[in-house]
Amino acid sequence: MDLKDRKPPRTLPVVYFAFAHVALLTAFFLVATRPYAIAGFFYHPRMFAVVHLITLGWITGTILGATYVVGPMALRTPIPTGRIDAVACGAYVLGVIGVIAHFWIETYWGVATAGLFVLPALVCVSVRTWRALGRGGAPRPVQWHIRAAFFNLLLAAAFGVALAINKKSSFLAGNQMQNVFAHVHVAGVGWATMVFCGVGYRFLAMLFPASPPGDKPVWVSLILFETGVLGLAATLPMQSDWARLFALVTAAAVAFFLGVIAWMLRHPRPAPKKLKRPDFGMVQTLLALLYLAVATGVGLFLVFSREWQLPWMMVYGVCGLVGFLAQVVLGVGMRLFPAFAFREAHVARMFGGAPGGRHPTSPFEMGRRTLQLVALVLWTPGVPLLAAGLALDHEPTLVAGAWALLLATLAVTVNNVLVLRHAFARPLQ
């Protein structure tokens, strides 16, 4: 298969990326301008709307777009695309908008109906990915890590629709809030964290750069993560003491993954000469991994606590969702988007009728380091300010954190637009 056949689709990932950036900007804008609608006890529809802007909009939207890019680039797994993928993308965007809008206006039947647009779209991408992995050249443990993550995505999506229906017509066993906790962990740990870890064992090795781990650590990681996630999904709704055991298994999975990352950093490989240091994208990725460790520690404290620890629950949510997941997507994107744009520009030069045209701009020169630094400088205090504002129910601190994160996201968005335009540049004749 030649380069033209293996190249990732160009427009489809960019649509996902664009929607993801708009979702994250909207989330922080709502918190910054309407803190009174977000703060207080976390279990209310407008908090759910903001959370889903980050989870479904930013994190999952970016991952779905990146699936079509990272597959051929890092996993030797081209994912074929056609009309059904475009339809799935459209259904996903409309469904997520519907979910968030109906959360905001507190109509749970609307949330469930919109979720029925999202679920088939996720099934489409999942099936495409599963099939492509079977035909691709990724190591088997990496394949199954990603397959398990997509299975958990579908489980979390179906669980979410069921929870929305259950709010109006109770049919699920267990306490509604505990069911929400189970849904959150299947989505956050089972989907987003697991897909990052599975792909990261190969892709982070390319970005650092460093030696990738062998197959055995990836199998161990898969078993620990999936055991912990499915165990939490089964025991949290029942408020069973077994949930503590599965929380420990999940924490062990996180510790094991961070240990593998530390091993990779101790086994570096020569970096490209044009790679500028410090690499702000990788700095944010490492900061995100630090927040993963913090969130894991706070989560263990909460699961073993006998009392209701609302402030620490806020800290746990912000560290896990914004400090780790949202930030790691942002950091990796600073390297992924230039690589994607360079490949598209190179393919256009080779197969677009102008093979003798100007060579594409190096991916290490596409980004604006000033904008990347602004994002890093603003995001770094933004996360603890947001966590403190929610935990202490202190509106000025909450607003300060939200504005810092909003401006950081705006800087990243401008940088990524400038990068992605290279993917659509027409080669010189």
For each of the chain's 429 residues, which pLDDT tens digit applies?
444 445 567 899 999 999 999 999 999 999 999 999 888 878 889 999 999 999 999 999 999 999 999 888 778 888 888 899 999 999 999 999 999 999 999 999 999 999 999 999 999 999 999 999 988 888 999 999 999 999 999 999 999 999 999 988 888 887 888 999 999 999 999 999 999 999 999 899 999 999 999 999 999 999 999 999 999 999 999 989 999 999 999 999 999 999 999 999 999 999 988 899 999 999 999 999 999 999 999 999 999 998 889 999 999 999 999 999 999 999 999 999 999 998 888 776 665 544 445 677 888 889 899 999 999 999 999 999 999 999 999 999 999 999 999 999 999 999 999 999 988 876 555
Asked whether the beta carbons of 96 and 52 are under 8 A apart, the reply is: yes
β-bridge partners, 268: 210
Asked whether the beta carbons of 352 and 404 are under 8 A apart, the reply is: no
Rounded to whole angstroms, the Cα distance separating 377 from 97 reads 30
Asked whether the beta carbons of 227 and 287 are under 8 A apart, the reply is: no
Rounded to whole angstroms, the Cα distance separating 229 from 247 reads 8
| Dihedral sign (CA 408, 410, 411, 416) | positive
DSSP state of 39: -
DSSP state of 365: G
Asked whether the beta carbons of 213 and 260 are under 8 A apart, the reply is: yes
